[in-house]
Structure 1
Amino acid sequence: MAPRVAPLLALSLLVLWTSPAPALGGANDAEDCCLSVTQRPIPGNIVKAFRYLLLKDGCRVPAVVFTTLRGHQLCAPPDQPWVDRIIRRLKKSSTKSKRHSS
């Protein structure tokens, strides 16, 4: 019987460990939080949008979530220069599109 209990216990612990942290009164649902961030630069040309998920939002890992053209969401560290470059480019293109649509 013991050999059957070990895999079940391991699975239960894995589910608990990977479950999102409960929100601490933040605006975002806990499910929106990133569990980790990539240190590897994301190509800016595949990104169409971004949003911040910070400690004050109830997340354990502060992150910028980039949404790709294909709809994937990638978590990046907010303090990296390559992240700032992508955000500046997105803001600049957003400003241009707003001017053209007016």
Structure 2
Amino acid sequence: MMTQKNSAIAVLLFCCILSMLSSTVSTYGPLTHACCVKYTRKPLPFHLIKGYIEQSSLEVCRIDAIIFFTVKNKKLCASPEDEWVKATLICLSDKLNAMASNGTLEISEGRQCQPLKMITN
């Protein structure tokens, strides 16, 4: 049975491998690479997110995007400029750091990792 610390290391290693594989491009172009072409503006509940990758307009795709992976294995494209996306990335980073340092899922400093409500004018 894996300890929490081993689980955290396994998750971190999986994220690193996923990140490396997602940006792999062969001599003849991307390997089954699907690009985001538009963004969702609706905030995604934090508890539904299991990971993310960054899409860069400097590589294969036309727009910069954050691609969130949900617990139901769905992909959701979001703008890296949206405030709810920035807040979610900070929470995910805090969660990974907490898991790596002490093996727990607790996020330090009482941070509220809930999606921001969208403000419409």
Q: TM-score, normalised by structure 2?
A: 0.56
Answer yes or no: is 1:57 the counterpart of 2:54. no
* Residue 27 (structure 1) shift: 4.2
Identity percentage of aligned residues? 24
Which one has more relative contact order, counting CA pairs under 8 Å at least 6 apart?
2
Q: CA deviation at 1:49?
A: 0.8
Would you say how many aligned residue pairs link Structure 1 and Structure 2? Answer: 76
Determine which structure has more spread, i.e. the larger CA radius of gyration: 1
- What residue number does 1:89 align with? 91
CA–CA distance in 1 between the matches of 2:91 and 2:40? Answer: 20
Corresponding residue of 2:37: 35
Root-mean-square deviation over aligned CA pairs: 1.7
Structure 2: runs of 5 or more not aligned: 1-22, 104-121
Richer in helix (by share): 1
Cα shift at 1:40: 1.6
1:48-99 deviation line (CA, Å, top 9, x unaligned): 1111101112211211000111111100011000000110110000001111
Gaps of 5+ in 1: 1-25
Structure 1 segments, 4+ long, off by >6 Å, are none
